[in-house]
Amino acid sequence: MDKKIKFAVVGCGHIGKRHAEMVTRDPDAELVALCDIRPREELGVEAYDVPFFSSLAELLQSGLAIDVVNICTPNGLHAAMAIEAIQAGCHVVIEKPMALTLADAEKVVYASLKYRKQVFCVMQNRYSPPSVWIKEMVESGKLGKIYMVQLNCYWNRDERYYKPGGWHGDAKLDGGTLFTQFSHFIDIMYWLFGDICNIQARFADFNHAGLTAFEDSGFVNFNFVNGGMGSLSYSTSVWNKNMESSMLIVAENGSVKIGGQYMNEVEYCHVKDYEMPVLAPTNPGNDYGPYKGSAQNHNFVIRNVVRVLSGADAECITTNVLEGMKVVDIIQRIYALKK
């Protein structure tokens, strides 16, 4: 490739640092700036010898040549910052979720169309080998009609995660458990089976009353617009460590269960006239010390951005802005059922 794609990362927490690291590792990408409201010295970003800015406006007015702005700030800031970067002439990578309301997500879509800029939504679970495999199983019709899908997300998020003074757990900046913790599992469900309707839901706040402004657990059931029914059970009240995130599919020609801590292994596959291949191993989960996150696939995200923007073999965006918007829409419709 003749010219490297230039990235600036806004928000230098755990995920922002992961983005910066993956950009510097990609031979066709270049990290040109970092941005955070906290002082540089507090952030542990000394490895990156690039200009540092304390606001997005300052970064965008700096005159630096920037192709892509990666938005890795608290959830509630994603949409406004993405629009600001798009209006300044940059493509954007938005960490999940792309917004906290459908209206804000639509504004991002509008800006992207108006200014002809690409929006990449980070949904890194799509890259794990079991996800790639099950996508092919569903799309090829090997499973036949989908009857039932059960999604279970049981994670630990306690006071080690919801620290006082942080944005996690804040109603405006965080938005809720489904947005911050489990939106990528809702994304996988939407990616595989499409939209949902006839939603019913129950919510509870078992042990996060002093830590968060929203529920920690929920049961949700629904129908798929394309046929079949589904359920989502989730909780961050699991003691001490993550238990599992799994998806169980009952279909016309067989049944499949993908499980593990972050949907990283195929636990059951019994499908008519089909023998399960050996899949490549899934990357380990993001390790935040006391708590764990989903599989470390951010390198695939950056690679996809580089390939799309450099026009390599007409590669398409792995998670486009409309898909990012649908996930926000689905979560908003589920949360609309809170009494």
Half-sphere exposure of 319 (CA within 13 A, CB side): 32
Residue 44 falls inside a structural domain: yes
Q: Which of 64, 98, 121 is the last residue of a domain?
A: 121
Clarify whether residues 104 and 25 are in a common domain. Answer: yes
Q: What is the pLDDT of residue 234?
A: 98
Clarify whether residues 139 and 116 are in a common domain. Answer: no
Q: Which of 100, 121, 142 is the last residue of a domain?
A: 121
Q: Distances in Å between the alpha carbon of 120 and those of 62, 92, 96, 98, 168? A: 23, 6, 10, 9, 23
pLDDT digits (tens, 9 = 90+) for 252-266: 999 999 998 778 899
Compute the chain's Rg from CA coordinates: 20
Dihedral sign, CA of 257, 276, 281, 125? negative
Q: What is the pLDDT of residue 165?
A: 87
User: Rounded to 5 degrees, what angle do the CA atoms 319, 167, 40 make?
Assistant: 90
Which amino acid type is present at position 296? Q
Q: What is the pLDDT of residue 313?
A: 67
Do you know the residue count of the chain?
339
Residue 195 falls inside a structural domain: yes
Q: What is the pLDDT of residue 292?
A: 64
d(CA 9, CA 17): 8
In 3D space, the residue among 287, 241, 288, 280 whose CA is nearest the CA of residue 264 turns out to be 280
Q: Is 170 helix (H, G, I), strand (E, B) or coil?
A: coil
Per-residue pLDDT of the chain (339 residues; tens, 9 = 90+): 679 999 999 999 999 999 999 999 999 999 999 999 999 999 999 999 999 999 999 999 999 999 999 999 999 999 999 999 999 999 999 999 999 999 999 999 999 999 999 999 999 889 999 999 999 999 999 999 999 999 999 999 999 999 988 999 999 999 999 999 999 999 999 999 999 999 999 999 999 999 999 999 999 999 999 999 999 999 999 999 999 999 999 999 999 999 987 788 999 999 999 999 999 888 776 666 665 666 578 889 999 999 999 988 678 999 999 999 999 999 999 999 998
Q: Which of 99, 121, 143 is the last residue of a domain?
A: 121
d(CA 75, CA 97): 6
Instruction: Classify residue 128 by burial, with Cβ atoms within 10 Å: 0-12, 13-18, 19+.
Output: buried
Domain CATH number, residue 228:
3.30.360.10
d(CA 200, CA 221): 5
d(CA 218, CA 201): 7
Sequence-ordered strand ranges (E) for 36-182: 52-53, 68-71, 91-94, 119-121, 146-154
Q: Indicate left, alpha or beta for 256 from its phi (over 0: left) and psi (-120 to 50: alpha).
A: beta
Residue 115 falls inside a structural domain: yes
Q: How many domains does the chain have?
A: 2
Q: What is the pLDDT of residue 1?
A: 62
Helices 14-25 and 298-309: crossing angle, nearest 10°?
50
Tell me if 297 sits within 8 A of 127, measured CB to CB. Answer: yes
Clarify whether residues 99 and 203 are in a common domain. Answer: no
Q: What is the pLDDT of residue 261?
A: 78
Contacts of 139 by beta carbon, 8 Å cutoff, 6+ apart: none
Clarify whether residues 35 and 143 are in a common domain. Answer: no
In the numeric block, the tokens 């690039």 are attached to 50
d(CA 107, CA 265): 37
Q: Is 15 helix (H, G, I), strand (E, B) or coil?
A: helix
Residue 322 falls inside a structural domain: no
pLDDT digits (tens, 9 = 90+) for 111-129: 999 999 999 999 988 999 9
pLDDT digits (tens, 9 = 90+) for 117-175: 999 999 988 999 999 999 999 999 999 999 999 999 999 999 999 998 899 999 999 99
Q: How many CB atoms lie within 10 A of CB 56?
A: 22
Which domain, by its residues, includes 68? 5-121
d(CA 193, CA 204): 27
Tell me if 125 sits within 8 A of 297, measured CB to CB. Answer: yes
At residue 96, what are phi and psi to the nearest 5 degrees? -65, 145
d(CA 1, CA 53): 29
Residue 36 falls inside a structural domain: yes
